[in-house]
Amino acid sequence: MTVTTPKGFRASGVAAGLKPSGNPDVALVVNDGPSAAVAGVFTANRVKAAPVLWSEQVVRGGEVRAVILNSGGANACTGPLGFQDTHATAEHVAATLATIGAGEVAVCSTGLIGERLPMDKLLPGVTAAAEALAQDGGAAAARAIMTTDTKPKSTVVTGAGWTVGGMAKGAGMLAPGLATMLCVLTTDAVADPATLDAVLRAATRVTFDRVDSDGCMSTNDTVLLLASGASGVTPTRDELAAAVTAACQDLCEQLVDDAEGATKKVAVEITGAASEDDAVEVGRSIARNNLVKTALFGNDPNWGRILAAVGTTAAAFDPDQLDVAVNGVWVCKGGAAAEDRSKVDLSGRDVTVKLDLHAGPATAIIWTNDLSHGYVHENSAYST
């Protein structure tokens, strides 16, 4: 139930030795067509990894027949030599598959920033991944792109005679523009690159762009949508958009649920905003606030910290009109204490923070996590 569920795709995941653990670290996804239409959305970070710079060019051509992904190294901040490594990887994929050109190969990398990839291990890994390609290889591919993820992340959404599949990785550096992650979506629907691009941008805007686990934007974020057309069915744009959005949302929730060290999966629901931008800005200000996040880790419905976070935004609101509910208990009404905070049950993993700005009709949900000892531990030890 992943990228190989739609017709026309093969995939694989192998261990090339990039990870000291010996776990799988190279994944390959191939679109056997008949169509090779593609769309992509990439990190908004101005410090972009070499594979992002490469794949942005490739996707601009509108056709991608293969995606090669590696964990165990981000190939970010590696200079011109790092870009050459990405180029050589794409060339090696093209040569191994024989029937495609390097300009039809997207490349994704994830792992530690600032170090060159060991090409003497990666290129043989690419060869092995090509040999392992299979119509049921999606699960192996999803496993090979994991870094600090504790489990692989896959999804399938079914249309009328066509299907959208997807896989993603990401557990830290989860923040907008996009969340730090790699994601490959596949579909056997018939769609041209322009339609795929419109559908994918609409989907990521309300899904991946609204995950803000730790406020830290990555250098490598990539979301690709590949269409094989193998179903022969052409859904309407709205049908395809709904399916792709559902697939992205499912993967987002899996990302937030598996975020580094997190003990809570938190939905920050903003209502009563004057505009959607206001709702997103306010939601993000709460999701990124370390004092709110540590309070949630401590099972503390500290709504004062939530109001202090909202006060840093430029959104339209009156401080004396703010209402806050934590897990259904309206602990703050009109900017001051309301229901007894001891009524709030924060013992579970799922938390909902609702904030009503009383300034208009717009809404948004931002997904985030608590800030835990586990997060500090994992991120203070990651590169050492």
Give phi and psi for 356, each to the nearest 5.
-105, 115
Out of 86, 180, 187, 204, the active site residue is: 180
Measure the N-to-C terminal CA separation of the chain; round to a whole number of Å: 36
User: Does the annotation count 158 as an active-site position?
Assistant: no
Binding to a copy of itself (CB under 8 A): which residues in 107-136?
A: 112-115
Separation between Cα atoms, residue 218 and residue 221, nearest integer Å: 6
- If one asks whether residue 312 binds a copy of itself (CB under 8 A), the answer comes out as yes
Distances (CA, A) of 218 to 22, 109, 174, 192, 273: 25, 12, 7, 29, 29
DSSP 42-87: E---SS--HHHHHHHHHHHTTB-SEEEEE-SB---S-HHHHHHHHH
Separation between Cα atoms, residue 249 and residue 202, nearest integer Å: 12
Would you say 340 and 110 are in contact if contact means Cβ atoms under 8 Å apart? no
Helices (H), ranges, the chain: 50-60, 79-97, 119-131, 138-144, 193-206, 237-257, 276-287, 290-297, 303-310, 373-380
Residue 227: which of 188, 199, 254, 261 has the closest Cα? 188
Closest CB 202 distance from a copy of itself, rounded Å:
23
Separation between Cα atoms, residue 261 and residue 38, nearest integer Å: 34
- If one asks whether residue 84 binds a copy of itself (CB under 8 A), the answer comes out as no
Q: Which two tokens stand for residue 187?
A: 């579909």
- If one asks whether residue 223 binds a copy of itself (CB under 8 A), the answer comes out as no
Binding to a copy of itself (CB under 8 A): which residues in 332-351?
A: 332, 334-337
Binding to a copy of itself (CB under 8 A): which residues in 134-193?
A: 172-173, 177
Quick one: which segment of 100-108, 217-225, 248-256, 266-274 binds a copy of itself (CB under 8 A)? 217-225
Per-residue binding string, a copy of itself, 2-31, x by CB under 8 A, is ------------------------------
- If one asks whether residue 320 binds a copy of itself (CB under 8 A), the answer comes out as yes
Quick one: which segment of 42-50, 182-190, 202-210, 265-273 binds a copy of itself (CB under 8 A)? 42-50
384: which residues sit within 8 A by CB, 6+ positions away?
A: none
Residue closer to a copy of itself, measured from CB, 151 or 377: 377
368: which residues sit within 8 A by CB, 6+ positions away?
A: 211, 212, 213, 256, 266, 268, 286, 287, 288, 293
Quick one: which segment of 7-15, 46-54, 275-283, 358-366 binds a copy of itself (CB under 8 A)? 46-54
Quick one: which segment of 2-10, 184-192, 270-278, 306-314 binds a copy of itself (CB under 8 A)? 306-314
Closest CB 318 distance from a copy of itself, rounded Å:
9
Determine whether the annotation assigns residue 379 to a binding site.
yes
- If one asks whether residue 217 binds a copy of itself (CB under 8 A), the answer comes out as yes
Closest CB 380 distance from a copy of itself, rounded Å:
3
Quick one: which segment of 4-12, 88-96, 181-189, 296-304 binds a copy of itself (CB under 8 A)? 296-304
Binding to a copy of itself (CB under 8 A): which residues in 265-294?
A: 288-291, 294
Separation between Cα atoms, residue 221 and residue 223, nearest integer Å: 7
- Tell me, by CB under 8 A, how many residues bind a copy of itself: 67
Map residue 220 onto helix, strand or coil.
coil
Ramachandran category for residue 250: left, alpha or beta (phi over 0 → left; psi -120 to 50 → alpha): alpha
DSSP tag of 211:
B
Determine whether the annotation assigns residue 180 to a binding site.
yes
Annotated binding site for substrate: 147, 169, 180, 260, 379, 384
Q: Which residues bind a copy of itself (CB under 8 A)?
A: 44-48, 74, 76-79, 81-82, 112-115, 172-173, 177, 214-219, 288-291, 294-295, 297-300, 302-305, 307-313, 317, 319-320, 322, 332, 334-337, 371-373, 375-377, 379-384
State the catalytic residues. Answer: 180
